[in-house]
Amino acid sequence: MYAESIGRLIEEFKSFPGIGRKTAERMAFHILVSKKDAATKLANAIIDIKEKVHPCTQCFHITDTDPCAICSNEDRDAHLLCVVEQPKDVLAIERMGLYQGKYHVLLGAISLLDGVSERDLTISALLNRVKAEGITEVILATGPSMEGDTTALTISQRLEAMDVKVSRIARGLPTGSSIETVSKAILADALETRRPFKNQGA
């Protein structure tokens, strides 16, 4: 019922999370009636995100420069490292506007259920950074979930032999939530009131 190219665009939009047929049709027709410039800008933005955006080779945050803007910012405290699961957690903490250290993105969390082990994450790169970059404190800001806790515990064990303070943000974060979804105030409080990470029997 549509010209083939409109039908194709509708199908593409329909594959987006949360987009049904009606919305997909509205989006396709919006593009159809918009200026050619606007459509080209959108198409180029999509191409750029796939071609130019990649993980930072230092912290594994997503970036189109390498190192990323955070790693290369000399005004930030290079001795303080906040460890998070995903790039979106970096964005959540950055939105708070209080944290002035640097980050390390694990690209996941240890999960027996999903078959994600320590080796699938960027933990060995993290240990190398702690050794090489003179890090004095590692803040474990993995999610307040079983996976986040397991990951934090594993990292704290790996860091035990190193001369570095290890702390964990936790207080006030609802169990099972994610760093990305908690409010700014709760996240700020959790970061402010971080506590030294103690291993069982350590």
Binding residues for Zn ion, rule: CB under 5 A, are 56, 58-59, 61, 67-68, 71
Least Å distance, CB 125 to Zn ion, is 11
Choose between 56 and 81: whose C-beta lies nearer to Zn ion: 56
Least Å distance, CB 140 to Zn ion, is 18
Choose between 59 and 169: whose C-beta lies nearer to Zn ion: 59
Answer whether 143's CB lies under 8 Å from 109's CB. yes
Least Å distance, CB 115 to Zn ion, is 27
Least Å distance, CB 113 to Zn ion, is 30
DSSP letters, 145-200, are SHHHHHHHHHHHHHHTTSS-EEEE--TTPPTT--TTTS-HHHHHHHHHT-EE---T
Least Å distance, CB 62 to Zn ion, is 9
C-alpha 52/C-alpha 33 separation (Å) is: 29
Choose between 58 and 142: whose C-beta lies nearer to Zn ion: 58
C-alpha 192/C-alpha 3 separation (Å) is: 57
C-alpha 153/C-alpha 80 separation (Å) is: 19
Torsion of the alpha carbons at 20, 25, 26 and 28, rounded to the nearest 10: 120
Choose between 13 and 103: whose C-beta lies nearer to Zn ion: 103
Choose between 105 and 190: whose C-beta lies nearer to Zn ion: 105
